[in-house]
Amino acid sequence: MNLLTSPLPDHLTVDGLAYAINTDFRFTLRSILAYEDPELTGYEKRTVLLSNLFIVAPIDLEAALLQAQWFLDGGNPPSEPTDDPRLYSFSLDANLIFAAFYQTHGLDLTTAQLHWFKFLALFMDLGTDTAFCQLIGLRKRIKNGTASKEERQAARDMGGAFDVPEVDDRTQAEKDQEADFMRLIGAVK
């Protein structure tokens, strides 16, 4: 998807039918926040995504999810999953992201009207001098083992504000099985 030459999508096509979508970045961020929520099952996360994105839900939910993924990815073709660690979280880092948008682009996200694709383009161009980008750089150095002793200490001092948990998209049944197993081996009471 080329923002310079292509119109921004306001609908997605599922089974040959055009379905209007919510394009404002807030709707998409709510869906991403649901994916970051460890209390929700994979089914619940997908339900939140489809209900936030589509104004009227398509019949074919699997095809709708493929289109939704394309939209979340900014109109780019799907990429292969990687084992790269997560370096930011829209829930954990919300205030720093807000400040970085304001510092870099002069944009107040509380009042901005932005299509998701525009939000993504601006997000990818946040200034390296912002606290958010500096935190991401530190997280990356910690996770790849290149951080200095002082940086590792700074990360420990940040405690829970530093670590970004990986997304857990297991089903509730899978979570229950793990909990049962952990109880059996005495790891959890």
Q: State pLDDT tens for residues 92-144.
A: 999 999 999 999 999 999 999 999 999 999 999 999 999 999 999 999 998 88
Give the Cβ contact number of residue 20 at 10 Å. 11
For residue 107, being part of any structural domain is answered with yes
Q: What are phi and psi of 24, to 5 degrees?
A: -65, 140
For residue 20, being part of any structural domain is answered with no
For residue 19, being part of any structural domain is answered with no
Residues 102, 96, 124, CA angle at the centre, nearest 5°? 70
Residue found under tokens 């929520």: 37
Q: How many domains, in total, are found in the chain?
A: 1
pLDDT at 59: 94
Lowest-confidence region among 9-13, 20-24, 84-88, 179-183: 179-183
The answer, yes or no, to whether residue 186 has pLDDT greater than 80, is: no
Average pLDDT over residues 78-90: 82
For residue 4, being part of any structural domain is answered with no
For residue 137, being part of any structural domain is answered with yes
Host domain of residue 106: 94-113+127-161
CA distances (Å), origin 84, targets 102, 130, 144: 28, 23, 10
Region of 113 on the Ramachandran plot (φ > 0 left; ψ -120 to 50 alpha; else beta): beta
For residue 7, being part of any structural domain is answered with no
What's the full length of the chain, in residues?
189
Q: What are phi and psi of 143, to 5 degrees?
A: -70, -30
Give the predicted TM-score (pTM) of the model. 0.82
For residue 101, being part of any structural domain is answered with yes
For residue 146, being part of any structural domain is answered with yes
pLDDT at 188: 53
